[in-house]
A and B are shown apart, each in its own frame.
Chain A
Amino acid sequence: MSPQPQAAVGAPLSRVDGRLKVTGEAQYAAEFDIEGAVHAVIVDASIGRGRITGVDTDAAEAAPGVLRVIHHGNAPTLPYRDNPGSNNLPGRKLRVFQDDRILFHGQPVAVVIATTLEAAQHGASLVKFGYDAERPTTDLAEGEPGRPGNYSRGDVEAGLRDADVRLDMTYRLARNHHNPMEPHATIARWDGNRLTVWDKTQWVPGTQLELSTVFDVPLDSVRVINPFVGGGFGSGLRCWPHTVVAALAARETGRPVKLVLTRKQMYFGTGFRPAYEYRMRVGSDRRGRLAATDQGIDAETSSYETFTEAVMSPGQMLYSTPNVRQSYRTVPLDVNSPIWMRGPGAATGVYAVESAMDELAHELGIDPIELRRLNEPAQDPSNNAPFSTRRLLECYTIGAREFGWDRRNPKPRSTRDGDWLIGMGMASGVYHTAVAPAQSRGRLNANGTAVIECATSDMGPGTYTSQTQVAADALGLAMRAVDFRLGDSRYPQTPPHGGSMTMASIGSATLDVCIQLRQQAIRLAVEDEESPLYGVNAEDIVVRNGRLHVQGNPARGESYQRLLTRNDRTRLEANASFSPPRGERHSISAYSAVFAEVAVDATLGLVRVRRMLAVYDAGRIISPKLADSQAIGGMVGGIGAALLEHTVTDHRDGRIANAGLADYLVPVNADIPDLKAIYLEGEDMQADPLGVKGLAELVIVGVAPAIANAVFNATGRRVRELPITAEALL
């Protein structure tokens, strides 16, 4: 097969759905106009643990417009068939209104359905519960850890004992909430035994499967629709209880029901990045070669499910270290279950590792980049697999040059600008490249357009656009001739829209389906006596702008349109089922070097990020304009984690004390200076057929430690806690 000309892939194109988004026409879950829909509002438990002793719905039911109040006392028993899929966690999931147990503050205890939103909200305020309250345990430091997950290589005790330099640090990371701008929302409608939900989700097939098991209806009786997702960052990777509540409410009332979580409910109605404590003991020789690390990791989980993530990986493989020991314990607490959040595991693990590296560099008097170079492994130290591509050293070189790293004074608290202490810091980042099976189907129409469909989502990275770019090139069509559709469970199955695997997985399926369509057309042409391409070797034909022609001889050819019309074909169709290749074992990850300059007010402790730059080794970049936005957005997310974001729980009753965007601080425009992203040109063909290594997770990893290290350089104060607040620096 001759290589297709690359026109769309790699070009800095604007979003294909841009117009819909700037005109307000893009429809998010709660925005579908469903005939006869009524409104539902959830009532949240006001205790952190215990039992419901009574419920009084009289006032609510008497209120104008209220149709129904459903709670554990009157809800039907739901089948809740076993479902180990759908990103359900090990344990026993929360079953809505099935018993009187309260497992966390804010747990849904009732739902009020009314004809208007105002009536439903008011009705919800009138439902009264009595509780038998127990004191919840919600503090990571107070819980009883579960059995640890362990990793070990070499002899850590000997390595530490024989080391010239030993450091012992404990880092703490606050709980973070995704806080996508669009609140989670579901519209549910039953037509007989068939359920349709318009639902904010990052995994259309996952939600479909979950609802079919909860209500015990056939999988194909459940349809999930969500063409637009207003941000997710992981919060939509599971089907949360409110989606079941909406479907239940719709079934019980016989009406379509719209249920939108309040911003406050997002803090306990969906998951979060758990709080962590990460103890790190490090030993090295005088020159800076790492001898041993001993890592003890504790993280929050709920009392009813065990949440884990790949937090151990960076501490195993980022640097060459002969002796490594890790113990990762989850601590069950009276909280709702966590869920993966952007850069899951890696953002946390890398913060600890990269903070420790900076501390070691300072201790040894070595430049932080030099220390990292010294410990650059030749192969993956965790499993001795060869790296597919690992261009971290290039990231350092280019980043240092572009950022002006040579202007950094290694002596902390030595650069001032008026009242401001100025510091520079850097950190490496890594995120494992994930690829999962994905399906796609496509058709090439006789009018020269193509439609590609799969059940993935687009929560903002630009899946519509980048997949269209892949398809356009593989089909030899203009971007506008390709209609890439997603967000419907009637389309072919896809993995979760997360873990940075969408391009690698769905992109590979899209690529496959489009190559098949092109080949079908080429075959049709070379076997068609009336085609100018009759008898030409199929290998020598390329397609450009919808026209098949002999490579090197553009005059000899014809359009898809002519070819299909003449052959009485209204369309060509193809299906693709992509499975990750199982070839030679490689260690496949995307890498970054992140640089930050901060200013810290010497008197007030205020931290301002002045500028940031990051260099990424992420394989092929399909959509550079959108990739740039992803990277900058990742830096903004990392700035939030470093300096602002902190879910505060009142441990006395398990209430989240700052459940709102006025109190849970996220970066605003004034917090963000100019940020710069550089992608190394290249591809990783071991990773997947497109040569991509994933972006969305990588770009948040390494940001927080780069800032933390810059704060140390500025102030000489090592704050081992995120977020770094003014109080910690006073």
Chain B
Amino acid sequence: MSIELPESDVPPPKGADEPSSGPTRRTFIATSTAVGGVVVAGGVIGGSLLADPAAAETVRSGQVSLTVNGTRRTVTVDNRTSLLDLLREEFGLTGSKKGCNAGACGACTVLVDGRRVNSCLTLAVRLEGTEVTTIEGLADGDQLHPLQQAFIDEDAFQCGYCTPGQILSGIGCIQEGHTGSPEEIREWMSGNICRCGCYVKIVRAVEQTAGRK
């Protein structure tokens, strides 16, 4: 194994493509570690549990009872399972979307006890006794929730992937009373990214629905 050791942090001159020039402190740490025989971890997903090797040997789980869209469910879940993964992978409620799994995009927004939350950041085992509302639970039979209908009427979506989260977030926004002006709606709907760029119409849909209340 050949390891190039760093000499300086100065990048090589333009045009130089020698692999040996200028590794940095970060490369140094990584490569030194490799030299020492403790190889570098490749994966980065949830990596910090590694400290306790025993932790890898048993899966810890817990039981939780929660109400989802009016239906009481009692399940045993892996303690690592997020509410979002529970909904999508266990309950087959794929209307809640995984956009970033880091609370940055809002696609996973659901209501927990009436409050909007990022379900990707919410551990399922914590939800004992809660009431969860997802996009699948909004319509009353064939009758869409007014905000669902407003999204269709205003064309407040394109690809539709952020839409369930936008609608749940919009319901939260209306319930919180943050709909006094388009500016206020924009501010309070900014936790939900729409990459197709339908914001103008999302604001209209929320405004219209709030106005009808």
Contact = CB atoms under 8 A, between A and B. Distances in A.
A135 B197 CA distance: 39
A636 B197 contact: yes
Contacts of A132: 1-3
Contact of A179 (B9, B159, B195): B195
Interface stretch (A479-487, A551-559, A660-668): A660-668
Given A133-B4, A669-B203, A122 B19 contact: no
A633 B196 contact: yes
A74 B102 CA distance: 33
B55 to A, nearest CB: 9
Contacts of B47: 125
A230 B199 contact: no
Interface in A418-435: none
Interface of B: 1-4, 9, 11-12, 14-27, 30-31, 34, 39-47, 49-50, 53, 56-59, 78, 80-81, 85, 88-89, 92-105, 107, 134-136, 138-139, 144, 148-149, 151-153, 155, 157-164, 167, 185-187, 189-203
Given A131-B30, A180-B161, 20 more contacts: A18-B151, A21-B160, A23-B148, A46-B40, A56-B39, A116-B89, A118-B81, A125-B45, A125-B50, A126-B56, A128-B41, A135-B23, A135-B27, A179-B195, A181-B105, A263-B105, A653-B26, A660-B104, A661-B99, A667-B199
Interface string A12-27: 0011011111111111
A179 B195 CA distance: 7
B47 to A, nearest CB: 4
A662 B95 contact: no
Interface string A95-123: 00000000000000110100011110110
A125 B96 CA distance: 26
A128 B37 CA distance: 11
Given A632-B200, A669-B203, A625 B163 contact: no
Contacts, number: 304
A117 B81 CA distance: 9
B39 A118 contact: no
Contact of B19 (A49, A625, A669): A49
A636 B159 contact: no
B186 A669 contact: yes
Contacts of A652: 9, 22-27
A33 interface: yes
A677 B16 CA distance: 48
Given A130-B39, A653-B30, A183 B200 contact: no
A180 B195 contact: yes
A664 to B, nearest CB: 9
A263 B101 contact: yes
B62 to A, nearest CB: 13
28 contacts: A14-B152, A14-B155, A22-B135, A22-B163, A23-B148, A24-B96, A25-B95, A54-B39, A122-B56, A125-B44, A127-B42, A129-B41, A130-B1, A131-B40, A135-B18, A142-B15, A228-B159, A263-B102, A650-B26, A662-B102, A662-B104, A667-B197, A668-B190, A669-B186, A669-B187, A672-B199, A672-B200, A675-B200
B30 A135 contact: no
Contact of B16 (A128, A142, A668): A142
A616 interface: no
Nearest to B81: A118
Interface residues of A, number: 107
A47 interface: yes
B164 to A, nearest CB: 5
Interface string A661-702: 110001111101011000000000000000000000000000
A141 B102 contact: no
Nearest to B48: A125
A655 B186 CA distance: 34
Contact of B144 (A23, A116, A669): A23
Contact of A629 (B21, B22, B30, B201): B201
A460 B158 contact: yes
A309 interface: no
B53 A125 contact: no
A628 interface: yes
Interface string A169-209: 00000000011111100000000000000000000000000
Contacts of B149: 22
B43 A460 contact: no
B88 to A, nearest CB: 7
A459 B51 CA distance: 43
Contacts of B97: 28, 181-182, 230
Contact of A134 (B4, B139, B199): B4
**Closest A-B pairs by Cβ, 10 of them:** A24-B95, A636-B197, A230-B161, A21-B160, A460-B159, A633-B197, A652-B24, A460-B158, A134-B19, A24-B135
A651 interface: yes
A124 interface: yes
A139 interface: yes
A54 to B, nearest CB: 6
A634 B195 CA distance: 10
Interface in A124-174: 124-135, 137, 139, 141-144
Contacts of A63: 56-57
A637 to B, nearest CB: 6
Contacts of B78: 116, 118-119
Given A22-B144, A653-B24, A263 B40 contact: no
A233 B159 CA distance: 11
A229 interface: yes
| Most chain A CB neighbours (cut-off 10 Å) among B18, B136, B163 | B163
Contacts of B16: 142
A64 B151 contact: no
A651 B105 CA distance: 27
A612 to B, nearest CB: 10
Contacts of B135: 22-24
A402 interface: no
Contacts of A274: none
Interface string A31-42: 101000000010
A19 B196 CA distance: 18
Given A182-B97, A636-B197, A660-B102, A18 B152 contact: yes
A180 B159 contact: yes
A135 B21 contact: yes
A637 B26 contact: no
A24 B94 contact: yes
A53 B35 CA distance: 11
Given A125-B46, A262-B45, A22 B23 contact: no
Contacts of B159: 180-182, 228-232, 459-460
A31 B94 contact: yes
A17 B163 CA distance: 13
Contacts of B26: 650, 652-653, 655
Contacts of B151: 18, 22
B155 A118 contact: no
Contact of B98 (A143, A183, A229): A183
